[in-house]
Amino acid sequence: MTTKAQPEPSISRKRRERERQEMRASLLEAARGIAAEEGWNAVTIRRIAGRLEYSAPILYQHFAGKEQLLIELMAVGFAELADRLSEAAKASPEDRLTAIAGTYWAFAFASPELYQAMNGLDGVPFGTAETPAEAKTAFRTFRVALQSIAEARGAELADPAGATDTLWAFLHGCVSLAMASRIAGGTDRARTLMLNALEPLFAAQLRRSA
Amino acid sequence: MTTKAQPEPSISRKRRERERQEMRASLLEAARGIAAEEGWNAVTIRRIAGRLEYSAPILYQHFAGKEQLLIELMAVGFAELADRLSEAAKASPEDRLTAIAGTYWAFAFASPELYQAMNGLDGVPFGTAETPAEAKTAFRTFRVALQSIAEARGAELADPAGATDTLWAFLHGCVSLAMASRIAGGTDRARTLMLNALEPLFAAQLRRSA
DNA sequence: TTCATAGATCTAACAGTGCTAGATATTAGA
DNA sequence: TCTAATATCTAGCACTGTTAGATCTATGAA
């Protein structure tokens, strides 16, 4: 592909290109703003455009469709997260691990709408509905199993409920990322990583039996 | 609330009640089937009903709306998961931890559509789209930080990429559940649990420097 | 057997969705 | 001042979840 020598873009052409970029950014910001205020299922093309006092089809001058806009927003989120993580990595070596994790957490909860877009959690439809009884049963089963394992080792869980939530979160994190093809190497590698980390994570939940 | 003595429901009344329950179950199964075959955003009321050769409004005879049906399906999923977990808990104490985790994993990937409904991952819109460059940057930042921490301890990561994915998955799992109000005790407790488990999880990724 | 009623199911419609085609303003540069 | 490019809009399509009202069908009593 040969790059033809451009005849120096005219002054107003440059201005319009800049305005295009600004419009594009405004659309992204509008979508994010609506999501922040009313959740992702309030985000419609008409409302995004309306917030900037434009009509709906304007969006297609800047994005291939709604989904493309969301993907772009996901990229924005990851860029921001990378920034913050590298900032947190400047903490002293002893504090660094906590700083990184704390920053990740803070980022997610400072901009839940972004975090949701980044991780395909659009809507979070069940967040409001109370946890169904069946879910509690599943959790309880899990907790009892963990306790039985501890007991078999002549120990007990320091905080049974906490241990349950912690290990459950880990399993869910592994599955969730693997299912979204977010772990390089495919599901087999993901599964192995999960199983490998399981033992130390569990062991840390134990204390000697009284 | 006083329970009035019912005049013994007639025979056909009982039959119709049973048929109602069957229809209800069929609707749930139809929704799940479509999701399994074509993903959750192919699941529309008309298609659910159509699969049973009914017209759309039939759904409202059994559920308050589409979202209610999904919530019901989530309950079905948790019930099934609880079943499998309690089965896995019958493994010998040494194998039990692995059995539980493996069962959780197997359940999720045997019925991804159910797992998605249970965890508000409807659509998984970005699963197909390749990971954006920004996400890779964020991962890399994270990995470099982890390596620097290891180094500061006079050790190194046995598998840097694996350690990165593992810890990332854990953070994501914690945030994701906390954000969906799935961890009792609120976000503060969730955050504490996460930070507490961080150290052992990280330590397990180390090996002495060569 | 006849008939009013309760129940099941449908058709038609509504407002809202993402998206597209075609018309219409607005601006740029000759 | 005029032509061409750009920006933007209006109108519409096929679809979504949902509701109202009509229409069948089966029930249990007279």
Which B residues in the span 125-144 are in contact with A, Cβ-Cβ below 8 Å?
125-129, 131-135, 137-138, 140-142, 144
The topology (CATH level 3) of A72-208 is: Tetracycline Repressor; domain 2 (1.10.357)
Within B3-120, residue ranges assigned H as helices are 11-38, 45-51, 66-88, 93-110, 112-118
- The residue that minimises its CA distance to C1' of C9 is B58
Q: How confident is the model at residue A125 (pLDDT cuts 50, 70, 90)?
A: very low
The encoded tokens of residue A86 equal 């590298």
Q: Determine the average pLDDT of the residues in A139-145.
A: 89
Question: In this complex, is the C-beta atom of B183 within 8 Å of any C-beta atom belonging to chain A?
Answer: yes
Q: In chain B, where are the structural domains located?
A: 8-63, 72-208
pLDDT tens, B93-104? Answer: 889 989 988 899
User: In the predicted model, what is the mean pLDDT of chain A?
Assistant: 88
Q: Determine the average pLDDT of the residues in A32-55.
A: 96
Q: State whether the beta carbon of A66 lies below 7 angstroms from any atom of strand C.
A: yes
The answer to which of A114-123, B27-36, B119-128, B162-171 has the lowest mean pLDDT is: B119-128
Q: Are A83 and B141 in contact (CB under 8 A)?
A: no
Confidence (pTM)? 0.85
**Amino acid present at A206:** L
Which positions ≥6 away from B56 have C-beta within 8 Å?
B45, B46, B49, B50
| Cα gap B187→A99, rounded to integer Å | 17
- Orientation angle between helical segments A133-152 and B66-88, nearest 10 degrees: 20
Phi, psi of B207 (to 5 degrees): -140, 155
| Cα gap B189→B69, rounded to integer Å | 31
Question: In this complex, is the C-beta atom of B9 within 8 Å of any C-beta atom belonging to chain A?
Answer: no
Predicted pLDDT at A210: 60
Percent of chain B surpassing pLDDT 70: 89
Identify the CATH homologous superfamily for domain A8-63.
Homeodomain-like (1.10.10.60)
| Cα gap B176→A58, rounded to integer Å | 34
Q: Which nucleotides of strand D lie under 7 Å from a protein CB?
A: 6-12, 15-21, 26-28
pLDDT surpasses 90 at B31:
yes
User: In the predicted model, what is the mean pLDDT of chain B?
Assistant: 88
**Amino acid present at A22:** E
pLDDT surpasses 60 at B125:
no
Nearest residue, CB atoms, B89 vs list A89, A148, A200:
A148
Percent of chain B surpassing pLDDT 90: 60
Q: Which nucleotides of strand C lie under 7 Å from a protein CB?
A: 7-13, 16-22, 27-29
| Cα gap B98→A10, rounded to integer Å | 66
CB contact under 8 A, B204 and A202: no
Assign B184 to helix, strand or coil.
coil
Q: How confident is the model at residue B10 (pLDDT cuts 50, 70, 90)?
A: low
